[in-house]
Amino acid sequence: MYLDNEDFIKWMEKLNSKLSEIGQDVRTMLNTSDILDDNEKILDNQDLCFLFKVSKRTLQRYRDKKILPYFKIEERVYYKAGDIREFVRKYGNTSSVRWDKPVSEDEV
């Protein structure tokens, strides 16, 4: 694909504008570290689905049962890391955890 100088300049201006917008978003995020208590981390639905290996619907059921605390910002659901830890302590099934001893080099 060939771009002449004028098209290239327009393309670079668009790219520069988008990068500036992203940079502003990052600066805003960095300046909001005091919003949550003790700089606690937050996770969204996608993070928690990946972490727990469950579907969004499963998380919805946990929220509906009021066993998984959450909050919303503009219809997006977020979870505090401390609430997730408490949820795992209270409802986690430790009998399914496998504690394998490390394999020594002699056994390999």
What was the pLDDT predicted at 68? 94
Residue 107: band (very low, low, confident or very high) from pLDDT cuts 50, 70, 90? very low
* Domain count of the fold of the chain: 1
On whether residue 106 sits in a domain, the answer given is: no
In a domain, 2, yes or no: no
Mean pLDDT, the chain, whole residue set: 80
| Domain annotation covers residue 87 | yes
Residue 27 lies in a domain: no
Q: Report how far Cα 106 is from the mean position of its chain's Cα atoms.
A: 40
pLDDT value, residue 39 = 65
Supply the pTM of this predicted model.
Answer: 0.55
The residue segments making up the domain with residue 53 are: 36-93
CATH of residue 59's domain is 1.10.1660
Query: What is residue 4's predicted lDDT score, i.e. its pLDDT?
Result: 79
103 pLDDT more than 50: no
